[in-house]
Structure 1
Amino acid sequence: MTAQPTPKGAWRIAFLLFLFMLLNFADKIVVGLAGVPIMTDLKLEPDQFGLLGSSFFFLFSISAIAIGFLANRIAARWVLLTLALIWALAQFPMVSNISFTTLLICRVILGAGEGPAAAVAAHAIYKWFPDEKRTLPTAVLSQGSAFGIIIAVPALNWLIVNYNWHYAFGALGVAGLIWAVAWLALGQEGPLVPASVAAAEEQRIPYFQLLTSRTFIGCCAASFGAYWALSLGFTWFTPFIVKALGFSQQQAGLISILPWIFGSVVVLMTGWISQVLMARGFSTRGARGVLGTIPLIAGGIILAFVPYVDGARLQIALLVAGSGLSGSIYVVCAPMISEFTPVSQRSAVISIYGAIYTLAGILAPSVTGNLIQNASGLFEGYMAGFTINAVILVVSGLLGLLLLWPNTERERLLGAVRQPKFA
């Protein structure tokens, strides 16, 4: 079969959505980056700061599911615009002197606005790229997260060091408004398989069968482990560098981007290798499933050595490598799910997938905060948190390796739909 051509303007939309995800992750990282000043100004204990990190995810999953179903019926262009405006407006209260409660509420609202972001962005970009060409643009979309850290962290940290942490939140609010204006002017709905056409031509599959398919479960399990590492890094990586290893806030800002630089290379390489393998005839089981899960297992093994090595540089190097490798799974899971999910149901299913794996964001910061609070020493608490992270990465990677079979999933699901109830 001849490959479907990519519509004109597809990469312009991909770039705008890349910037969308850049802002998304800059919003996530700012609390962790400003963790020490925030804890000092608001007089927070580690368990309180862990709660603050977790609060971002309180409505994250619920919002992701609700907006995911809505995006099946409303143009993704308008959903994305609304989300960006919520992000921007949720940042501005932090410009003034606020209480811990106000900061926590604003983070909950921000999390509700950001919960659907990745799934809706993926749904939007898949309207511009045919299936066989989706892995690379998905990798570019994922790079928004890495560049959101690489670009934003030095800029935000400069504001924190030279002014105060309130300015960092204000800058993110202004950036969100600028993106919303750019998207309103340049954003468009993709022309590939409009929802009305998809509904007419594709057979729907019951959501229960989609959500209990082995590939969907495998994606949730594998991504849960990766997101545990990610959300742990959002909240605790910079405070660990400052409080446990003794670096200054300015030095910590530079060190904090290292996992994201390494992770960006991993993500882009995963996207590129996946498309090369598929072009050479590999099944998506190998070119997506196996390729995305092996780095998770390797990353967990690397993190397991962190408590047993001496020297801040070596510990940082292991943390960078272990957490950076886990990003490979994000590149492959959304395309795998889209392989067997009807277009008219895709936004909802990808959103539910995101809602499930991001539950790790509620647990990781809070669990680690309590470990630090109750450990015999600050350093020992961090090491316990990193050890738990290592175990979760290995287990999630093994589950993904066992369960991810996207190349046969659609035929199996459609066969189950056509099969008589009483065979």
Structure 2
Amino acid sequence: MNSLDGYRPRAAWMTTLMLMALALINFLDKIVLGMVAVPLMRDLGLSPAQFGVVAGSFFWLFAVSTVLVGFLSNRIQTRWLLLGMGVMWAVLQVPQAIFSSMAAFLVCRVVLGAAEGPFYPVSVHALYKWFPNEKRNMPVALVNQGAVVGLLLAGLLIPVITHHWGWRTNFVVLGAIGAVWSVLWLCVGREGNLVQHPRTLTGAPDTTVQRVPYRKLLSNPTVLCVFFLGFAGYWMMGANMTWLPTYLEKALGFSGIVSGRWFALVIAAAAPFSLGLSWLSQRMLVRGASSRNARVRLLCAAFIGGACLFFVLMLPGLAPVQKVVVFALASGLPTACFALAPALLSELVPDTQRGALIGIHTALASTGAAIAPMLIGRIVQANGGVSAHAYELGFATSAIMLIVAALVALRWLHPERSQRGAGEHVATSAA
């Protein structure tokens, strides 16, 4: 049993909405490169392999900054960390609208990736200061929907902006949006004060600050399995954000604006899966289901289902529209990972270490998004770069990752068992 102090629903949901808006900006920043890939590659003279390197470079320092800021979030209020991110994102858009060489663009994306890397773990850590464990799935899922809305807007607006004012104008618009959010957050952003204490044997809340060594946490099979699930999820996300727009335009034959609309549809289709599975998981927990059933097995089923649909893309005879629908289903199911994975981690770690562990998780998982665009770029170039089959071979790497991660989790991811082990260690340390 736990005692809860400081749960304020109205302020908690206001924070959720603001972080949802920040997630929207975050994913607009991520996807814009993929959405302007065709004119950018033409103007800068980049091959598919070179563009894959530029796209993947966003994640080169993503992991390092995520870990560093994750540890800082244990000591510095998340409201100030989030404000700093918003300001940096806005400022870093301007150089991308100016530079014209591959090297300069590469540097810009690396620095922006370092600035955006800590967003997700810091946001989750901030939300968990407002919501108790049994209420954490939905707010994180809603923040993830900010990402969905951002990708949806990208599909609808970026092709239009590019068509009328050129691809560089998109970066100017993103800078302005980031500046507006930063001003609003400065006015309304607050720090949550929910404290969740374990009970002592007498039934009273144990307010002693307790810690589990990171060596023990990082060798825990449950933690490692969650990291692997995140790696597979980020692999799929990096592949889709970088190569889906080009796949729609160059391989399936849609025009730039129509490709953007189909991209928006694919992204919108993910929302009911993410929200629905998160709600179902939370409902199961409230009704007494174990975390193993409500979070682990549910997520693994979603991973395997999505992977099978990625393989369906490669079947002969599918029309372009049918491929878009299959792709939407395939990429929608695994998105529940981004809400359920940090919730699984939060079950095992004291509140004072949560920000760091979620930061480490995001850092390691995001390496999947750094590797996938480069590997798929090589696969596409080796297979001609214009056929649908070339791109579908690349997307099949996501399917393989999802299946392997799900099988590993089904075998070794046991949250309740790991909680008992962590609790015994804490009790020993306190004694």
TM-score bracket relative to the smaller structure: over 0.9
1:306 and 1:383 in contact (8 A); partners too: yes
Residue of 364, 372, 376 corresponding to 1:356: 364
- Are 1:59 and 2:61 matched, yes or no? yes
Instruction: Report the equivalent of 2:354.
Output: 346
Instruction: Report the equivalent of 2:320.
Output: 312
Instruction: Report the equivalent of 1:290.
Output: 297
Q: CA RMSD in A?
A: 1.9
Instruction: Report the equivalent of 2:405.
Output: 396
Deviation at 1:192, TM superposition (A): 0.9
Deviation at 1:200, TM superposition (A): 5.7
- Are 1:85 and 2:94 matched, yes or no? no
Say which SS state the counterpart of residue 242 (structure 1) adopts. helix
Instruction: Report the equivalent of 2:344.
Output: 336
Instruction: Report the equivalent of 1:170.
Output: 172
**What do residues 3-42 of structure 1 show as CA deviations (whole Å, max 9, x unaligned)?**
8473141110110011011111111000001110111111
Larger CA deviation: 149-158 vs 365-374: 149-158
Residue of 232, 240, 243 corresponding to 1:225: 232
- Are 1:408 and 2:410 matched, yes or no? no
Structure 1 unaligned blocks of 5 or more: none
Deviation at 1:126, TM superposition (A): 0.6
Deviation at 1:59, TM superposition (A): 0.2
- Are 1:122 and 2:124 matched, yes or no? yes
2:236 and 2:369 in contact (8 A); partners too: no
Identity of paired residues, percent?
Answer: 35
Instruction: Report the equivalent of 1:6.
Output: 7
2:3 and 2:196 in contact (8 A); partners too: no
1:270 and 1:331 in contact (8 A); partners too: no
Residue of 11, 33, 40 corresponding to 2:35: 33
Deviation at 1:320, TM superposition (A): 1.3
Deviation at 1:194, TM superposition (A): 9.4
The whole-number CA distance in structure 1 between the counterparts of 2:340 and 2:231 is: 14
Deviation at 1:357, TM superposition (A): 0.7
Residue of 364, 368, 373 corresponding to 1:365: 373
Larger CA deviation: 19-28 vs 86-95: 86-95
Alignment of 1:40-55 (within 5 A): 40-55=42-57
**What do residues 394-421 of structure 1 show as CA deviations (whole Å, max 9, x unaligned)?**
111222222322223222123245569x
1:292 and 1:331 in contact (8 A); partners too: no
**What do residues 250-308 of structure 1 show as CA deviations (whole Å, max 9, x unaligned)?**
00110111222111111110121111111111011111111222101110011012112
Larger CA deviation: 211-220 vs 375-384: 375-384
Deviation at 1:2, TM superposition (A): 8.4
Instruction: Report the equivalent of 2:258.
Output: 251
Report the number of matched residues: 418
Deviation at 1:201, TM superposition (A): 2.1
Structure 2 unaligned blocks of 5 or more: 198-204
2:307 and 2:330 in contact (8 A); partners too: yes
Instruction: Report the equivalent of 2:200.
Output: none
Say which SS state the counterpart of residue 195 (structure 2) adopts. coil
- Letter of the 2:82 counterpart: L
The whole-number CA distance in structure 1 between the counterparts of 2:126 and 2:2 is: 23
- Are 1:383 and 2:392 matched, yes or no? yes
- Are 1:147 and 2:155 matched, yes or no? no
- Letter of the 2:362 counterpart: G
TM-score (normalised: structure 2): 0.93
1:68 and 1:120 in contact (8 A); partners too: yes
Deviation at 1:95, TM superposition (A): 2.3
Instruction: Report the equivalent of 2:201.
Output: none
The whole-number CA distance in structure 2 between the counterparts of 1:233 and 1:124 is: 28
The whole-number CA distance in structure 1 between the counterparts of 2:418 and 2:263 is: 39
2:154 and 2:264 in contact (8 A); partners too: no
2:162 and 2:170 in contact (8 A); partners too: yes
The whole-number CA distance in structure 2 between the counterparts of 1:78 and 1:141 is: 18
- Are 1:269 and 2:283 matched, yes or no? no
Shift in CA distance, 117/377, structure 1 to aligned 2, threshold 3 Å: closer
1:306 and 1:386 in contact (8 A); partners too: no
Instruction: Report the equivalent of 2:105.
Output: 103
TM-score (normalised: structure 1): 0.95
- Letter of the 1:286 counterpart: N
The whole-number CA distance in structure 2 between the counterparts of 1:64 and 1:331 is: 18
The whole-number CA distance in structure 2 between the counterparts of 1:134 and 1:327 is: 16
Instruction: Report the equivalent of 1:71.
Output: 73
Shift in CA distance, 358/199, structure 1 to aligned 2, threshold 3 Å: farther
**What do residues 157-180 of structure 1 show as CA deviations (whole Å, max 9, x unaligned)?**
221121111111111111111111
Deviation at 1:92, TM superposition (A): 0.7
- Letter of the 1:356 counterpart: L
Deviation at 1:332, TM superposition (A): 0.7
2:225 and 2:412 in contact (8 A); partners too: yes
